[in-house]
A and B are shown apart, each in its own frame.
Chain A
């Protein structure tokens, strides 16, 4: 084909219009020039409707997880919706104890969205996927009319392989177990809210968005009796611990003084009247393991760059009401409940 007969996309000043989702030449061009180029791999190059993948090793099982990302603003300190969409889904696969292998991605783009931003976000997404070693093997693009979407939504689905014998489950926590968190809580949600509310800080609060499969593998190796891993995203530590308490039919008692919180995040929470325990994370793990393995697990997590501030923050107790309680640093006790009502809008 003669290159001259194709009008290249104006990636610098152009914007997405409805024709880019219309199934015609414009769409093919957008897919090839933006997505194909960034994610380039053997599966995408074939251009088929789906990706044909090898079967897992004998004894291994497949894990599938999916996650839709609607964060606003699209770019935030420490990341953007592109890398977030990769990390979020990889983490959902990783906390099952599985090795993430492949990603699928769907893009819903609002008419008028600047191509330059799209290119930037897709590049960030591709970089995150490459760094994690998890290729995006298939995808889909839809364009919606102006006003029907907020710039860009990205949904990703991840596939991973679960080794034989690995049985992590939210229902596995037992009274006496230790509760461990891999680092400071509330960073991601607060990075976004601080940006939205224009809070002034000496240094911007950065999202902790990161792919956690490396850290998860460390945890699995360090604690043979590991009951479960979770990534406390929306609703924060509080929501995830309540889910665990419900699933496992146990209570949990936290020690507030032991929970790591970045001082800037704490100050911003104070200002906005929020509790860091309710704020989303995108690069933290919660682990529950037998008390006897807790020390080794914390030490192992601390040895990984993403787990430096890992800490043992509480213990599982028998409680038919499945309450999550906390000994406050102040010396009292209170419950740590789910956040009621509308979550703070669109942080992941």
Chain B
């Protein structure tokens, strides 16, 4: 294992910052959305915003897997554990997302539900093999990066003929979310979210490639620069976006050539489409019902579909009325616009999903940036 210091070099960062400052046109303002939570996290953690000129504003996007999960889906997972007595496994952050009735998966666990935190889909499968007497459900969330491992465990479970393993599939798709944002009334008509371009996902793009973004560049005239998750990647991408805007171009460019190709990982894509197909529509937190934006398990693998096995229906649940997560995920509001921010809603007591994962806009701002909102004052 090697440390990736070369992508965090302060001297290079200052050089890039100066270059960006030189290239922004006087009087012009630039707003770029970083789609991914990974970028949101990098920007906050390394203080990238401090290095950008005031004319460049970064808008947080919806690419945080936990943040876009609607309450209704977490309720389903909790019902599986509490009512159906299943062992539900999922990734860590999901456990803290508030669900209905004052519950979260963590609180459900305190009430006796068998809910386990795992690090990989393979852990869930291993658990099912170890405990044949238990029904093990993998609550699968995430974008295109986490989908291939889920496909793999479903295939493996089929090969082994497991009868006690299933998947509650909540995998969602990046391009559909970007379309939803570009089609949202705020962006289309009101212009309240002036978006001049996107920083495209890093890891997701290694799987799906850079081609799927061409549509946004052509159809919506928005430049897209795919970037890695290192802070220097982000800065380089900002510089490339500024140039595109200045030159009136709207193209898909790839800053992350060390990992992303035009086609992506074809093998992984094939594996995914063997097991999954598009859902007609799927509810996202913040974006509402988005057509063809998520995956479900194909009929030949229906035995491993938890929704089918346990006869789960989906009941949408509105968010907390004061929570602005929806608007934040669409880029319309920022965390400090929410009146619950930092008072009622904190990382210890999240009211909305954006406060849960460190990739969420509210949690990132609370954890890394809230000192900016309050003038520094001497202790009395």
A residues adjacent to B (C-beta < 8 A): 175, 197, 199-201, 249-251, 257, 263-264, 266-268, 270-271, 275, 318-321, 323, 325, 327-335, 337, 340-342
Q: Which residues of B contact A197 (CB under 8 A)?
A: 119
Q: Which residues of B contact A332 (CB under 8 A)?
A: 46-51
Grouping DSSP codes into helix (H, G, I), strand (E, B) and loop, the B interface class, with mixed when no group exceeds half, is helix
In the complex, the answer to whether B379 meets A318 with C-beta atoms within 8 Å is: yes
Residue of A nearest to B368 (CB): A334
In the complex, the answer to whether B378 meets A320 with C-beta atoms within 8 Å is: yes
Residue of B nearest to A272 (CB): B119
Interface residues of B in 88-129 (CB under 8 A from A): 92, 95-96, 106, 119
State in angstroms the CA–CA spacing of A251 and B378 once bound together. Answer: 9
With A331-B10, A332-B51 known as contacts, the answer to whether A323 contacts B3 (CB < 8 A) is no
Residue of B nearest to A199 (CB): B1
With A197-B119, A264-B1 known as contacts, the answer to whether A321 contacts B377 (CB < 8 A) is yes
Q: Which residues of A contact B371 (CB under 8 A)?
A: 321, 323, 325, 333, 335
Residue of A nearest to B366 (CB): A337
With A337-B367, A337-B368 known as contacts, the answer to whether A328 contacts B47 (CB < 8 A) is yes
Residue of A nearest to B48 (CB): A332
Residue of B nearest to A269 (CB): B3
Question: Pick the contact of B378 from A201, A319, A335 — CB < 8 Å?
Answer: A319
State in angstroms the CA–CA spacing of A145 and B46 once bound together. Answer: 48
Interface centre among A270, A318, A328 (most CB of B within 10 A): A328
Please encode chain B, from 339 to 378, with 1 for each CB lying within 8 Å of some chain A CB and 0 for all others.
Answer: 0000000111000000000000001001111110010111
B82 contacts A by Cβ under 8 Å: no
Q: Which residues of B contact A257 (CB under 8 A)?
A: 10
B318 contacts A by Cβ under 8 Å: no
B134 contacts A by Cβ under 8 Å: no
Give the distance to chain B from A286, nearest Cβ to Cβ, in Å.
Answer: 20
| CB<8 Å pairs between A and B, sample of 29 | A175-B378, A175-B379, A200-B1, A250-B379, A266-B3, A319-B378, A321-B371, A321-B376, A328-B10, A328-B45, A329-B10, A330-B9, A330-B10, A330-B48, A330-B51, A330-B231, A331-B14, A331-B47, A332-B46, A332-B49, A332-B51, A334-B44, A334-B368, A335-B371, A340-B347, A341-B348, A342-B92, A342-B95, A342-B106
Q: Which residues of A contact B374 (CB under 8 A)?
A: 321
B190 contacts A by Cβ under 8 Å: no
In the complex, the answer to whether B1 meets A331 with C-beta atoms within 8 Å is: no
In the complex, the answer to whether A251 meets B2 with C-beta atoms within 8 Å is: no
Give the distance to chain B from A268, nearest Cβ to Cβ, in Å.
Answer: 7
B residues adjacent to A (C-beta < 8 A): 1-4, 8-10, 13-14, 17, 44-51, 92, 95-96, 106, 119, 231, 346-348, 363, 366-371, 374, 376-380
In the complex, the answer to whether A330 meets B13 with C-beta atoms within 8 Å is: yes
State in angstroms the CA–CA spacing of A201 and B3 once bound together. Answer: 12
Give the distance to chain B from A344, nearest Cβ to Cβ, in Å.
Answer: 9
With A340-B347, A340-B348, A341-B96 known as contacts, the answer to whether A333 contacts B47 (CB < 8 A) is yes
Grouping DSSP codes into helix (H, G, I), strand (E, B) and loop, the A interface class, with mixed when no group exceeds half, is loop
State in angstroms the CA–CA spacing of A263 and B13 once bound together. Answer: 21
Q: Which residues of B contact A266 (CB under 8 A)?
A: 3
Give the distance to chain B from A276, nearest Cβ to Cβ, in Å.
Answer: 11
Residue of A nearest to B232 (CB): A330
In the complex, the answer to whether A333 meets B10 with C-beta atoms within 8 Å is: no
Residue of B nearest to A340 (CB): B347
State in angstroms the CA–CA spacing of A251 and B371 once bound together. Answer: 11
With A320-B379, A328-B47, A330-B13 known as contacts, the answer to whether A270 contacts B370 (CB < 8 A) is no
Give the distance to chain A from B146, nearest Cβ to Cβ, in Å.
Answer: 14
State in angstroms the CA–CA spacing of A320 and B96 once bound together. Answer: 30
Given contacts A199-B1, A330-B9, 18 further A-B contacts (CB under 8 A): A200-B1, A249-B379, A250-B379, A267-B1, A267-B2, A270-B3, A319-B377, A319-B379, A320-B379, A321-B376, A321-B377, A328-B47, A329-B10, A330-B231, A331-B47, A332-B47, A340-B348, A342-B106
State in angstroms the CA–CA spacing of A99 and B231 once bound together. Answer: 46
Closest 9 CB pairs of A and B: A332-B47, A340-B347, A332-B50, A318-B378, A267-B1, A330-B46, A334-B368, A337-B367, A333-B47
Q: Which residues of A contact B106 (CB under 8 A)?
A: 342
State in angstroms the CA–CA spacing of A263 and B3 once bound together. Answer: 6
Residue of B nearest to A322 (CB): B379
Residue of B nearest to A197 (CB): B119
Give the distance to chain B from A2, nearest Cβ to Cβ, in Å.
Answer: 49
Residue of B nearest to A341 (CB): B96
Residue of A nearest to B2 (CB): A267
Give the distance to chain B from A203, nearest Cβ to Cβ, in Å.
Answer: 11
State in angstroms the CA–CA spacing of A329 and B370 once bound together. Answer: 19
Give the distance to chain A from B113, nearest Cβ to Cβ, in Å.
Answer: 16
Q: Which residues of B contact A199 (CB under 8 A)?
A: 1
With A264-B1, A271-B1, A341-B96 known as contacts, the answer to whether A334 contacts B45 (CB < 8 A) is yes
Q: Which residues of B contact A264 (CB under 8 A)?
A: 1
Q: Which residues of A contact B1 (CB under 8 A)?
A: 199-201, 264, 267-268, 271
Give the distance to chain B from A273, nearest Cβ to Cβ, in Å.
Answer: 8
Give the distance to chain B from A192, nearest Cβ to Cβ, in Å.
Answer: 15
In the complex, the answer to whether B347 meets A334 with C-beta atoms within 8 Å is: no
In the complex, the answer to whether A331 meets B119 with C-beta atoms within 8 Å is: no
State in angstroms the CA–CA spacing of A156 and B50 once bound together. Answer: 47
Q: Which residues of B contact A327 (CB under 8 A)?
A: 47
In the complex, the answer to whether B10 meets A334 with C-beta atoms within 8 Å is: no
Q: Which residues of A contact B3 (CB under 8 A)?
A: 263, 266-267, 270
State in angstroms the CA–CA spacing of A319 and B378 once bound together. Answer: 5
State in angstroms the CA–CA spacing of A103 and B29 once bound together. Answer: 65
Interface centre among A257, A318, A327, A340 (most CB of B within 10 A): A340
Residue of B nearest to A275 (CB): B45
Q: Which residues of A contact B379 (CB under 8 A)?
A: 175, 249-250, 318-320
State in angstroms the CA–CA spacing of A329 and B1 once bound together. Answer: 21
Q: Which residues of B contact A330 (CB under 8 A)?
A: 8-10, 13, 46-48, 51, 231
